[in-house]
Structure 1
């Protein structure tokens, strides 16, 4: 729970009190997923959001030919879940699975709603997370529609250097919307510079 405490404090100028954090942590349940174990399957409703204590995960869709398209990657101190399905209780169009054995702290939608009213610190953290998520999403969309593959990879390495160590090349290529061969070529060119 210390990681969650530190994470919440990163959003608060004055930090969260121990008493308030005791309330916050009472809403979370511990869960461990094995490598490749699903957190969410396409067609299911996302009933939990998870804070990753250790491990890594990926969110992806699968087309009619069985090709996977990575839409999000997650590591320690990231939140994981399908936001739309979680908020609307609609079936998810995504799969989310553990890329490595992953330890999570889970919270339900009803508990999030209750905690938003009960804990000012949690509410402030959620607002801050929503702002950061919105900004990151806009940056990714802008990069996807206006930048070439080399620039997208360069920005990815700059913004998420730890992801390069944790995920294989084909996963990163899918996340960037490029082929594995294109990513190999880009990496070779960058090494030669």
Structure 2
């Protein structure tokens, strides 16, 4: 595993010494997943916080009728997990599935807790990550309640640049809360009001 992407990401928020970097890397797990494999399955306890080295994943909730509701995509340099399950050690509400062959750096709950003690700066890092995720989640809720579909699509493209070439249109429509036919109309007739 090449830890450079993870260390570069971390250095945007906190400065680790060479010894702290070495300790972090020594505690990190590494796993490859194939397209279609699940990293987390609904009902299982989520065991890892995952950093994406390569690949693309979706986090989704299947409703009782089997309809997928995509709540997030994760690409390189993003974190992905069922955070509620990971923190509370209770069954996951969400599935996390690979849309491409994927490489992840993984930290178990116990490993992260020990790293917080050994490298206190990591608590700051994860506080920042969680704060940013919480704000992004709130912003998405407001957008979904208040913005027309076209503006939600524009914001999606800003948040996930280049992902449209990696993700099927019906999944983007699910993320936006619209039908794939309506998404197609938005893309083909950008001047119309939605």
What is the TM-score when the length of structure 1 is the normalising length?
Answer: 0.94
* Residue number in structure 1 paired with 2:12: 10
Instruction: State how far apart, in whole Å, the 2-side matches of 1:17 and 1:110 are.
Output: 22
SS at match of 1:161: coil
- 1:72 matched to 2:72: yes
Point out where structure 2 has 5 or more consecutive residues left out of the alignment. Answer: none
SS at match of 1:26: helix
Q: How many residues align?
A: 191
- C-alpha displacement at 1:121, in angstroms? 2.8
Instruction: State how far apart, in whole Å, the 2-side matches of 1:113 and 1:165 are.
Output: 37
* Residue number in structure 1 paired with 2:157: 157
Point out where structure 1 has 5 or more consecutive residues left out of the alignment. Answer: none
Instruction: State how far apart, in whole Å, the 1-side matches of 2:184 and 2:12 are.
Output: 36
What is the TM-score when the length of structure 2 is the normalising length?
Answer: 0.94
Instruction: State how far apart, in whole Å, the 1-side matches of 2:107 and 2:161 are.
Output: 28
SS at match of 1:42: coil
Instruction: State how far apart, in whole Å, the 1-side matches of 2:118 and 2:176 are.
Output: 39
- C-alpha displacement at 1:158, in angstroms? 1.9
* Residue number in structure 2 paired with 1:170: 170
